[in-house]
A and B are shown apart, each in its own frame.
Chain A
């Protein structure tokens, strides 16, 4: 065993340049795979963070169409409903189009009771509640643009035309590191009052309601009751779980995600081909040695394990380096691209995937060379020496 390991380890570093280049390729591929998987995971963070007891009620035709604000009272009155909040996606532009981030008009009185995952100090909460034009920003967004309490910022409306001014009253954090803190919240009342003056047709409407159900076993029942309540109204509703709502929202970007997923798998496919080529060259060069070992009495299994061990060792070294590099590279990538993605967190599932991909590359790349070397006729292999 020790002799086998010695042979494997020393063989792995025999052609140093080749090994370094293979390692470099592996690190880049496994790193790219990990970063892409992290991006996909971050994209789905909203789904993962969805609370089972929360329902989302939206316009039955499309979630981009509004609902009357007056539905609020009716929903609150339904048996089993513990709380209701509502919000509108604002869609404003901060200075330039590239500075995209999510802005949401919220009902400040009910929002934070419904979303305990967002954490803000009592002082910030008081300041926000007392200022009609006030806004609070997530930690990530504040870091991105250097926002601090007292700053006045202007957004150019797209859904709601005109220039809108907000005073930053504080910064909120997230209880769960996966929760998105790249958003800005401001008062729905401020939006509504301004719309009454500027664009009456858009006033007194909300994007969607979020309903907290007291008993998780009654989620379906409450959902059906809400939709039944508005069935004969001018605007019908569609109520679904927060998770189903998030999935529906994600479906719009599914093709992008599928593309990212395919690219991440293709990257692994490419490094598999490169590694297979390297191992095939290595095995071909050492046919004489394998034949000598067989002549000395070592079986085909020993030869196969030598090649497999070398390949897996290189793959695991490359995979380990890539895994170690994934979190800093993911963070740097977010900083460089100023992407509105939630935090890119490299969780254990992604690490396990990277490790699995490394192992798979190590194993699969040796199948052909291992089979050839292990089954070579001794006299044929010995002819390769000299």
Chain B
């Protein structure tokens, strides 16, 4: 209890200091590009509680989470299979490397051509970009499972479903989660980028549209909301991770 309070203090002092600095340095600012923090926070309250939260934030979050969940589902499924079939993995490794090296942003114009400007395109681009860390981590984790575990599987004649779901998936789980954490970052980034292309709503669209209208205060409010959302998502992710890894030996949770 005391320790967690101390950790909280340790983590809080810098943000508090920086925000205070920002606040006092920007008081009465007349700069067009760097308005006073007090004005920005006013705009956050005015715009995001709750008008734009419903019209922009909700659809953004829906697309982002859909893309992220799809990426994790696809990445874990393919990773379990590829990691279990080393020969198949060797055969398609060049293609995998190529696809991974291609930034998802570069696919954006093609995705817009094929899928249009709707949510489908955005979810597709997010999934495409976010799938790699999960896929590669899962593949590596399953491939790296101790040979003794494979021996246990065959010596005791464990059925195929149990091999995948009760042994390989949980064995890979810690690494899957560290991949998923990176995927979450990528999902947020791709969400914003995809919304800057011809979207009629969404937080990325809002930030870009405010900038084009010289509504600089509004623009900053969008950026701050995005930062807060990203931070909260990370907190939620960490809580979920801790819950999922509660049965694992302590050193495997990476703490």
A and B are interacting partners: no
